[in-house]
């Protein structure tokens, strides 16, 4: 975009902005008038301290919102945890989500997976999640991998999210992320219980939580409120990392028990 064009577009943005906020409808008008993408319009607005109206209640600074806008997050698994986390990150304003899942929605997913409905049964999870996220945040970029995860799924990500339900797959993903120096936000749920933490080379969280190489192979029983809670924690940890906020979960993990309302942060033991 030429500087003269940018200046003209910026003047249009400033004319339409109300209390330093730009509505989606006005942003669309400006994009159409100047034959420019909506994403470019909102990026320019944020760069000049004007927030898209749909993000104003995030209560983030324009600098922080722009940082999220420019971030790339890989989500491995698009079912209960992955789908819910993707939805939260789209609403927060993450600019690019890389979604990976080989599965289709089945009837047993209806109790907890936010994008599973009677209309989407049998449909590819990544295709449906990607489509629905565009309705939430029209400037969101998505890269869809309708397959098992590979190095390509995380190669360009700033951070990755583990939404898998297999010990073997989690360990493989952890190894892959550590090789590429990408932090991995881990989450797991079973019935009323869940836990979350950030797996890094420094703490080797996944190895500590899952000392056995494999699990029983029986899918865990899962309640929807536990999924929502742990997914929210994963989204929060992702945002903290991207914005440079300190988190207790870089040095440990959080265990939750919704049946008895117990929440415990457990420090990671240091290797001797």
Do 241 and 183 touch, CB atoms closer than 8 A? yes
> Given a cut of 60, is residue 272 above it in pLDDT?
no
pLDDT score for 270: 60
What value does the mean pLDDT of the chain take? 95
Question: Quick one: pLDDT at residue 14?
Answer: 97
Q: Model confidence over 229-267: pLDDT tens digits?
A: 999 999 999 999 999 999 999 889 999 999 999 999 999
The pLDDT value given to residue 4: 59
**Residue 53 near residue 137, CB atoms below 8 Å:** no
- Gap between the Cα atoms of 8 and 77, Å rounded: 43
Q: 82 pLDDT exceeds 80?
A: yes
Average pLDDT of the residues in 11-29? 97
How does DSSP classify residue 248? Answer: G
Is pLDDT of 179 > 90?
yes
* pLDDT score for 3: 55
DSSP letter, residue 262: E
pLDDT at position 268 over 90:
no
Give the 3-state secondary structure of residue 32. helix
107: which 2 tokens?
């009837």
Backbone angles phi, psi at 191, to 5 degrees: 50, -120
Domain boundaries, the chain: 3-65, 71-267
191 sits in the region (left: phi over 0; alpha: psi -120 to 50; else beta) called: left
Is residue 161 pLDDT above 90, yes or no? yes
pLDDT at site 242 = 98
**Closest-CA residue to 247 (of 190, 183, 188):** 183
User: Who wins on pLDDT, 216 or 169?
Assistant: 169
Reduced to 3 states (helix: H, G, I; strand: E, B; else coil), residue 111 is coil
Q: What is the pLDDT of residues 202-231, one digit of tens each?
A: 899 999 999 876 777 778 899 999 999 999
Average pLDDT, integer, range 198-203: 92
**Topology of the domain covering 71-267:** Rossmann fold (3.40.50)
Q: Are strands 184-190 and 159-162 parallel, antiparallel or unpaired?
A: parallel
The angle at the Cα of 65, spanning 80 to 143, to the nearest 5 degrees, equals 45
pLDDT of residue 266: 94
Whole-prediction pTM: 0.95
């Amino acid at each position: 975009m030429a500087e003269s064009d940018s200046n003209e577009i910026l003047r249009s943005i400033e004319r339409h902005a109300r209390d330093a906020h730009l509505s989606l409808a006005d942003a669309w008008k400006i994009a159409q008038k100047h034959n420019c993408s909506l994403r470019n319009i909102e990026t320019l607005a944020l760069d000049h301290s004007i927030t898209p109206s749909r993000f104003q209640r995030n209560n983030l600074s324009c600098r922080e919102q722009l940082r999220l806008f420019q971030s790339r997050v890989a989500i491995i698994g698009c079912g209960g945890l992955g789908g819910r986390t993707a939805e939260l990150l789209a609403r927060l304003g993450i600019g690019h989500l890389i979604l990976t899942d080989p599965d289709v929605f089945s009837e047993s997913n209806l109790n907890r997976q936010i994008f599973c409905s009677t209309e989407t049964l049998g449909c590819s999870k990544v295709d449906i999640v990607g489509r629905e996220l565009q309705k939430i945040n029209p400037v969101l970029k998505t890269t869809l991998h309708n397959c098992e995860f590979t190095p390509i799924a995380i190669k360009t990500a700033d951070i990755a999210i583990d939404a898998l339900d297999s010990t073997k797959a989690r360990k493989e993903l952890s190894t892959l992320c550590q090789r590429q120096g990408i932090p991995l936000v881990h989450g797991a749920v079973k019935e009323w219980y869940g836990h979350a933490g950030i797996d890094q080379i420094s703490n080797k969280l996944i190895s500590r939580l899952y000392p056995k190489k494999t699990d029983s192979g029986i899918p865990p029983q899962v309640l929807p409120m536990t999924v929502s809670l742990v997914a929210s924690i994963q989204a929060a940890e992702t945002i903290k990392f991207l914005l440079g906020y300190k988190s207790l979960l870089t040095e440990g993990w959080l265990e939750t028990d919704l049946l008895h309302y117990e929440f415990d942060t457990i420090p990671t033991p240091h290797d001797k």
